[in-house]
Structures are given as structure tokens and as C-alpha cells.
């Protein structure tokens, strides 16, 4: 069946994408510009939150990127699994 989605490939794709987005966030925090970006983005979403970024930590940055990849992989895999079952 040509309409089946390869769950592993989609999981990897979504995982890499999620990790990439969080890598950008890590870079913004490391450059100390994340608060400025947040102050610009939140009002675009009609949000006003009293949050700010803490000091940069390489260990936390690596954990964040790994967690984003794992979460993205699981999300992509589950999506493909459901798609293939419904199809």
C-alpha cells in the first residue's frame, strides 16, 4: 500500500525538527537575546506572561535538545501508527 507512512522515518523527521527548533532556542539563550525575542513573540500571540530565561547551562541545553528529539520522535511515530491503522 503506497499510502502507508514509515513510522520510523516520520519519527526521525519530527524528532530532528523538534531538536533543531530547540537548538535555535539554546543559541538564543546562550547569546543572551532570548528574552528580547520572547518579548517580541509573545504579544504576536496575544500573550503577556511574566516569564524570563534563566542563565545558560550547557548540560540543561543538551538535555533539552535530547528531550525535544525524543518527544518529536514519539509524536511522529504515534502519528504514523495511527495513520496506518486508520488508512
Average pLDDT by stretches of 10, the chain with 87 residues: 89 98 97 92 91 92 98 98 93
13 falls within a domain: yes
* Domains held by the chain: number: 1
Residue-level pLDDT at 1? 54
Record the cell numbers describing residue 31, joined without a space: 547569546
Q: Residue 43: count other Cβ atoms within 10 Å of its Cβ.
A: 10
Give Cβ neighbours of residue 34 (< 8 Å, ≥ 6 apart).
25, 28, 53
Residue-level pLDDT at 79? 98
68 falls within a domain: yes
1 falls within a domain: no
Give Cβ neighbours of residue 19 (< 8 Å, ≥ 6 apart).
65, 66, 68, 69, 72
Residue-level pLDDT at 69? 98
Structural domain of residue 65, as residue ranges? 7-86
2 falls within a domain: no
34 falls within a domain: yes
Q: Report pTM.
A: 0.87
23 falls within a domain: yes
By the 8 A CB rule, do 16 and 75 touch? no
Residue-level pLDDT at 2? 67
Amino acid at each position: 500500500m503506497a499510502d502507508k507512512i514509515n513510522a520510523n522515518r516520520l519519527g526521525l523527521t519530527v524528532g530532528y525538527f523538534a531538536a533543531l527548533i530547540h537548538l535555535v532556542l539554546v543559541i538564543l539563550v546562550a547569546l543572551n537575546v532570548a528574552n528580547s525575542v520572547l518579548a517580541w513573540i509573545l504579544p504576536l500571540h496575544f500573550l503577556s506572561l511574566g516569564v524570563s530565561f534563566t542563565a545558560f547551562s550547557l548540560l540543561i541545553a543538551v538535555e533539552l535538545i535530547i528531550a525535544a528529539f525524543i518527544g518529536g520522535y514519539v509524536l511522529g511515530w504515534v502519528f504514523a501508527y495511527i495513520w496506518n491503522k486508520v488508512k
